Structure 1
Amino acid sequence: MSDSAPAGSTALFSLHGMWCTSCALAVEGVLKRAPGITQASVHYPTATVYVQGEAQAIALATLAPRVSRIGYRLGELEAVQDAAERLEQEGRYLSLRLGVAAVFGMWTMLASILIYAGAVPAGRIELVMAWVSGAFSLPVVLYAGVPFYRAGFRTLLARRPGMDVLVSLGVLGAMAVSVWLLGQGSVEVYFDTAVMLIALLLVGRLAETLCRQRGLKAFEALALAPGDVTLEREGQIASHPLSAACMNDVQRLAPGETLLLDGELMSAGWFDTATLSGESVPRYLVAGQRVYAGYRFIEADGEVALRLRVNATPGERRRDHLCEQMRLLQTQKGELHKLADRFAAWLSPVALVLALITLPVAFMLGASLDEAVVRALSVLVVACPCAVGLAVPLATLAGSDQALQRGVALRDPGAFETLARVRAVAFDKTGTLTAGRHRVVHAECRDALGGDFHRKLAAATRQSEHPLAQGLLRWALESGDKQNEEEDASRVVRLDEVAGAGRVIAFERGERWWMGSLGWLGERGVTLEGAAHQADHAFASQVVVADERGWLATFYLADPPVEDGRASVRALQAQGYLTALISGDRQGAVSWLGEQVGLAPNACYAQRSPEAKARLLAGLASPTLYVGDGVNDTLCLAAAGVGVAPMQASDAAREGAAAQLLRPGIGGVVQLLRLARRTRNVMLQNLVFSAVYNTLALGLVIVMAVPPLAAVLAMAASSLSVTLNAARLAWAPVDGDPAKGSP
């Protein structure tokens, strides 16, 4: 984004200096209070800020000073590689602090345990051990805990105090009370409480950072690898770095080269457009048509190289806009996320008020000053919602393990919350509902098909990687005998291929075949009497074979559904899910596949671009689940409530999806949704118990003296209870076949 925002009244920026979700909420609060801002959202995992409002109000120059006043830095939307490097540095930073907390905290805990267990002689030795405990806690508190204090201070400045404020007050309060008690000669110190809070929370923050690093891989996979481009300038043809390309430059492409720039063709050629269109068959594009970065140039008509005029440079390409739209979609928050934000917004202030009230009330009721201070400290410790923090993660961890046993890997365990509420399930076509392996569904031949024909067909298609040729090869091998083609007339001595159109094959005994599309054979003057396309097989791809006498055979090939496709779609429909097929492929193939798997004709959408697919998905009942395997599906995977990548998905789809199927077919989707409903039930049980615990515990420490150590033990007990409840999910596996509809 530029310094002056466009008139579209929306902008994306990168936020630097975030430490936790409380930081995200603090910045979000500051932005929402800014004049002229109608909407603001901060996505913590990718550190992306989305703002909407008046053009001048959302300019970087306007917003950056507001954010800097609370200690953060707002900047241009950073490149994916820069974000990955920044997160890697944060990971090393956290690992170092966690190492300090572990090494020094271990000795603090050991000294405290010796005192609690009465393992040292009472009196002077106990006092020495208490001082030793405090001494070893200092590096933890003064170094490892600094990020908590900084984040707490910043969120206070933003008037959005979060968990870091509670943690900071709990740690510093435990240290202050312990030093004060030591000064009075008491060994009832709480250095171990401070150390435990810091160490455990650092572990959680490090895990969050690693998850954020993994989340950025979706954008890395979508980005094209940098390279050089061949440009024509002032009559000279030379290779230039990609960054040197300018608008209206003329680029030359060699066969097999992947486009790194968007442009307009100056001559016709064949392209593999699967990365953005999803079509498995190459397309013939004529002069004047637009091509996009990610397309692969196959061959030009009558030319070695192809020329195009550049009309989008890096940062403005269609692929770059797809990446930007993914980041925009990720900044939008679901209802559960908003509910969690509201919970965090009021919990910390309530705990602080209760602690402040407890101190004078306990003192007025006859407690000594040190007892009143300890009781207030206990309120802060009890208010740290460890059980609440564990309630959902433990359930998702158990659910993720169960999903893995059933062939589904969850990249984002938090997706369980959305999965349990999914109302619509949409599928891509090629590579998702189909295996991407074309098969012959109908064949016609001029003469009786003998073993010699099958061997020649196998030899003619053996070296081709085209999906239709591979389908013909499988048909020939399955239908013919096993005689070695090298020993008879089927041996190929010459093969000339016109990429995306057909091939001319010369066999050893002088026979020649032409194999390709009906139009291509007609252009070469081949007699095609009897080769007309059958309307009954309009859904299929047609391949015509001819010899010197004319038309020889016609094959109709289609990409059949995966083995469990029909049963899985039926199971989803029986459970009340709205199901749909959204593809970039042609209408005939999409309608036929929909019929094969049991989808209604009005639930099958064909010839949709990535952007159109995302808009169509947004119109389905929300939340949605989308299953797709290609680069052209990444936008839908981001726009859906939950994205799922099938087993053979591309890198971009795998990294952008919340879950990946580890087994062929789509049966894992049925299992995942069923398991998600059970996991959500466990989450809700844990949350209810945690809320009851926090309410009762806070009430107890207010009305009676509870030492901070007892508060820590109570926290441990509540954490153990939610752990055991989450373990039930693993102990009671989900039975049944994925294709069955019972929940």
Structure 2
Amino acid sequence: MKREFDVFGMSCAACSASVEKAVKNVKGCENVSVSLLTNSMSLEGSASDEDIIKAVEKAGYSAQVKGAKVEEKQANGENVQKRLIISVILLVIHLYISMGAMVGLPVGIFSNHSLNATVQLTLSMLIMMLNRKFFISGTKALLRKSPNMDTLVSLGASAAFIYSYVAMSLMFLYPEHAHKYYHELYYEAVSTILTLITVGKTLEERSKRKTTDAIDALLKLAPEKAVVERDGKEVTVDVKDIRVDDIFILYPGSHVPVDGVIISGSGSFDESSITGESVPVDKSVGQNVIAGCINVESNIKARATRVGEDTTLSKIIKLVNEAASSKAPISRVADKVSSIFVPSVIVIALITFITHLLLNAELSYALSRAVAVLVISCPCALGLATPVAIMVASGKGAKNGILFKDAAVIENTSRAGTIVFDKTGTVTTGKMKVVDEISFDDSFLSYAYTLESKSEHPLAKAVCNYAIEKNTALLNAEGFKALLGNGVEATIDGSTVYGGSVKFISTKLELESGVLAQCDKLSEEGKTPLLFIKANKLLGIIAISDTIRDDSKSAIAELKNMGLRTVLLTGDNEKTANAINRIVKFDEVISGVLPDEKEAYIRSFQRDGKVIMVGDGINDSPALMRADIGMAVSGGTDAAIGSASIVLMGDTVSTAVSAIRLSRSTLKVIKENLFWAFIYNLIGIPLAAGIFTPIFGWSLNPMFASLAMSLSSFCVVTNALRINMFNLKDSRKDKKYKFSKEKKMEKILHIEGMMCGHCEKRVKKALENVDGVAVANVSHTAGTAVVTLNKEVSNETLKKAVEDQDYSVTKID
């Protein structure tokens, strides 16, 4: 089970790396992930909370089980602002005193070098006291042998301060050389470094808070109070006190407090905050309402079905938080660099100092270069490059009805080359209705109604609804059986009655050519014919149709324009599937596939790259889980959230297109951030070290180095916020996916002992359960299994999988 903690005291990527390393060493901790952006940590395992918190504290930070003290955070934020304001005021005074004369400003009594130096010392010490956090945190981290950004700042500021203090002491000891030593003072650099870095951290924090705006907006959707019925009276209670089956009342303009079902009244509901659809949805008795939605008009009563953490809104918030705090695979390089970054910078600064001295540079110049190296280096930009983009994307997705399970899903979605759709409830509305009835018996509809009333299949429900509208009599039935993917049977009035597809009924009764022609005609029109027989006599045919979603055609066209291969994978017969495809126009149509066979097709598609499967999250669960990315349409059900890696809250196919656009734009921003973070340090550190001085005459003052460092993280966060401005509906900037097939690896196993189709299935299942096997084509007549691999799998592993099923492997090619 995943557990979450709040972590306090982290200031850069090196800090989060230290915490992660410390907790990973705790026995019983697995899948540890620390987020600098959200100051949180998630993990799995059996280790106790006390051991985990103790490990964090040993690393020099503090932690507690998820649920940080908001008051403490607010107080810390207010202290930072006060500290910043005072630091800026003191810095302005300091710069005026130290540099005013250089730009022709009157400095009065401060023209006296001794007085000037003394005041500078006082001002820099005051700013150091105000920003002592850098020194305390940096020193502790250094002593723990896990230096962080604060270590770099404190080392740079301390070196400049100590050097200035020594120069000032010499100035007082040798008054005749006061002018010379006065120009060796770097007090203003100390004040500027600390103040500008505090400015940068403040800007960074403000920008980081903006990345969580979407989550904050979701939290505000749930009202604190609600009106419920208690003992026949209307009572206002806290939402947390509502229980399942309580009756709550919705007035116009009020937010739905918990998930429920309408028991009285009807009206429109604004579900844009949940599904991303701006058009209000009309709802009446028997229909569900979702927590956080707004009742647009009329008074409505509803019965609570889900409360507390079980509501759809609570699950959405949980998913968004989990996705935002997870790590994308692309961030691994940055994490590795961050773990060694600070020690490397300290070494580079030391080498810089020594090298300049060996090249006969003045001590002050060598020190200036070393300090510049320390303060320009920024591990924070590296640490924030990926998580800020993931946080913004998760929030942007939630606003538009797209819920990503984790960061890896966002990255994988952007790299998918094939997208596979289920038909019913995905490309179509899933709202089945009877459109034709061909009867050969007066009691036909009663038999059909009675038989299908025992089934849970969507087609059966359509038949029942149609029969109820016709006031059809319900007969007595016994021995009902549902045959998956085929049909149903039961004993009615002493006779066995069958119902199902043409294929199924043809196994029970030889159908006349005229009947088959009628069924073919219905199928070509996109209708699904169901046949019913009793005592070897055809009772009649019912044709059922499912309406294609309004946006299916345009969505598939947009996906093609984005370079994705589109596939329709359906259990319907070939003619019905082709009728749908004549309108929607997929690249490929595969029909007549049973639910348990869809997973095998997904495996085969994965030979060509990453695959997205879009389904309803219920019948398609194996395929959704097998696909690299599973998208469940009309999310909110436990089955959908459990089996899919992306839950689409809207009822439109275009939401899937938006999810792909969002993931692509997010990956682009992450790459930009990582590029900026690496290039900034690759150019900034050599520039600060003075490497470009002999060639181009370029050098960098420590004060400007601190300014660059303070703005680097701010730039990364600000760039990530651009995702909020991205139009998910705009197809003008779509680019074609550069489709590159993965290397195809095949092995042929020669197997003895297979005698029939059942043997084939056993061997096929055993092989396809092996990690790395994409698909296995088994033939008992040829005595072979052709195995397609998506990664290297040893012959011994394949052989063992087959021999565990009591067959012999004689050779592997």
TM normalised by structure 1 equals 0.57
Give the aligned partner of residue 62 of structure 2: 73
Aligned residue in 1 for 2:374: 383
8 Å Cα contact 1:416-1:676 kept in structure 2: no
Give the drift of 1:592. Answer: 5.4
Residues 153 and 375 of structure 2 are in contact (CA less than 8 Å); yes or no, is this contact kept in structure 1?
yes
Give distance in 1, aligned partners of 2:546 and 2:615: 20
Aligned position for 1:328: 322
1:14 aligns with 2:6: yes
Letter in 2 for 1:596: V
Q: Paired residue for 2:558, among 543, 561, 568?
A: 568
Aligned match for 2:165, one of 179, 187, 206: 179
Conserved 8 A contact 2:263-2:285: no
Work out which of the residue numbers 239, 243, 246 in structure 1 matches 2:240: 243
Which among 195, 198, 219 is matched to residue 194 of structure 2?
A: 198
Offset of 1:46 from its aligned partner? Answer: 2.2
Give the structure 2 partner of residue 474 of structure 1: none
Question: Which residue is equivalent to 1:596?
Answer: 584
Match of 2:27 among 35, 48, 51: 35
1:112-131 matches, cutoff 5 A: 112-114=98-100, 125-131=112-118
Sort the Cα spacing of 1:242 and 1:420 in 2 relative to 1 into closer, same or farther, 3 A.
Answer: closer
Q: Provide structure 2 residue ranges, at least 5 long, that are not aligned to the other structure.
A: 172-180, 389-398, 437-464, 474-521, 529-543, 570-575, 591-611, 723-729, 739-813
Match of 1:471 in 2: none
CA contact under 8 A between 2:35 and 2:387: conserved in structure 1?
no
Matches within 5 A, 1:415-434: 422-424=414-416
The aligned residue for residue 344 of structure 1 is 338
**How far did 1:163 drift?**
1.4
- The answer as to whether partners of 1:37 and 1:52 remain within 8 angstroms in 2 is yes
1:698 Cα shift? 3.7
In the alignment of these two chains, the number of paired residues is 576
Q: CA deviation at 1:71?
A: 5.2
Shift of 1:381: 2.1
Asked whether the 8 Å contact 2:6–2:41 carries over to 1, the reply is yes
Contact 1:255 1:297 in 2 (8 A): no
Q: Deviations over 1:277-327 (max 9, x none)?
A: 9997869869xxxx89639899xxxxx96667x7x6524556545533443
Residue type at the aligned position of 1:187: Y
1:227-253 deviations in Å (ceiling 9; x for gaps): 3464779x999665343456xx64235
Residue deviations 1:130-170 (CA, integer Å, cap 9, x gap): 44444433333221x23323432453465421211101111
Write the letter of the residue equivalent to 1:251.
D
For the pair 1:691 / 2:688, whether they are aligned, the reply is no
| Alpha-carbon offset, residue 198 of structure 1 | 2.4
1: distance between equivalents of 2:155 and 2:54? 28
Q: Quick one: distance in 2 between partners of 1:45 and 1:678? A: 16
> Is 1:47 aligned with 2:57?
no
Partner residue, 2:123: 136
Q: CA deviation at 1:210?
A: 2.4
Give the direction of change, closer, same or farther, for the CA distance of 1:154–1:285 in structure 2 (3 Å limit).
Answer: farther
- Seen in structure 2, the aligned counterparts of structure 1 residues 718 and 147 have a Cα distance that, compared at 3 Å, is closer
Structure 1 contact 387–690 (Cα < 8 Å) conserved = yes
Structure 2: which amino acid aligns with 1:109? Answer: L
Residue aligning to 1:449: none
**Does residue 227 in structure 1 map to residue 210 in structure 2?**
no
Write the distance in 1 (CA, Å) between the matches of 2:568 and 2:675: 33
Between the aligned partners of 2:60 and 2:31, the Cα distance in structure 1 is 22
Matched letter for residue 691 of structure 1: L
Structure ID, larger Rg: 2
Partner secondary structure for residue 294 of structure 1: coil
State the alpha-carbon separation in 1 of the partners of residues 255 and 731 from structure 2. Answer: 46
Looking at structure 2, the residues matched to 260 and 327 of structure 1 have their Cα atoms a distance apart, in angstroms, of: 21
Deviations 1:194-219 (A, max 9, x none): 23322332233223322443344444
Query: CA–CA distance in 2 between the matches of 1:258 and 1:184?
Result: 72
Q: Is the 8 A contact 2:229 2:235 kept in 1?
A: yes
Give me the whole-angstrom Cα distance separating, in 1, the residues matched to 2:372 and 2:673: 26
Distance 1:695 1:62, change over 3 A: same
Aligned equivalents of 1:362, 1:241: Cα separation in 2:
69
Q: Which residue in 2 is equivalent to 1:607?
A: 616
**Conservation of the 8 A alpha-carbon contact between 1:568 and 1:667:** no
For 1:208, the equivalent position in structure 2 comes to 204
Counterparts in 2 of 1:106-117, with a 5 A limit?
106-114=92-100
In structure 2, the partner of 1:61 is 50
- 1:656-671, aligned counterparts within 5 Å? none
Query: Partners in 1 of 2:78 and 2:140 — Cα distance?
Result: 23
Cα 1:204/1:52, change in 2 over 3 Å: same
Distance 1:315 1:364 in 2: 66
Aligned equivalents of 2:22 and 2:634: distance in 1? 39
RMSD: 6.9
Q: Secondary structure at the match of 2:209?
A: helix
What's 2:511 paired with? none
* Partner residue of 2:89 out of 103, 128, 131: 103
Distance 1:701 1:569, change over 3 A: closer
Are residues 698 and 282 of structure 1, via their aligned partners in 2, closer, same or farther at CA, if it must alter by over 3 Å? same
Q: CA deviation at 1:50?
A: 0.9
Change in CA separation of 1:608 and 1:392 when aligned onto 2, cut-off 3 Å:
same
Does the 8 Å contact 1:19/1:147 carry over to 2? no
Query: Residues 283 and 316 (structure 1 numbering): CA distance in 2 closer, same or farther, change over 3 Å?
Result: same
Distance 1:13 1:594 in 2: 53
Cα gap change, 1:152 to 1:73, in 2 (>3 Å):
same
DSSP-derived class of the 2:617 partner: coil
| Contact residue 39 and residue 51 of structure 1 kept, 8 A | yes
Shift of 1:93: 3.1
Q: d(CA) in 1 for partners of 2:707 and 2:626? A: 46
The normalised TM-score by structure 2 is 0.52
Report Cα offsets for 1:496-515 as digits up to 9, x if no partner: xxxxxxxxxxxxxxxxxxxx
Could you tell which deviates more after superposition, 706-715 or 380-389? 706-715
- How far, CA to CA, are the matches of 1:428 and 1:93 in structure 2? 54
Give secondary structure in 2 for the equivalent of 1:225: coil
CA distance in 2, matches of 1:154, 1:323: 36
3-state SS of 1:424 partner: coil
**1:225: Cα distance to partner?**
2.5
Residue equivalent to 1:738 = 733
How is 1:717-732 mapped onto 2 (pairs within 5 angstroms)?
none
Partner residue, 2:763: none
* In structure 2, C-alpha distance between the alignment counterparts of 1:723 and 1:19, rounded to whole Å: 14
- Offset at residue 116 of structure 1 (A): 5.2
**Counterpart secondary structure, 1:38:** strand
SS of the residue aligned with 1:49? strand
Deviates more, 1:192-201 or 1:110-119: 110-119
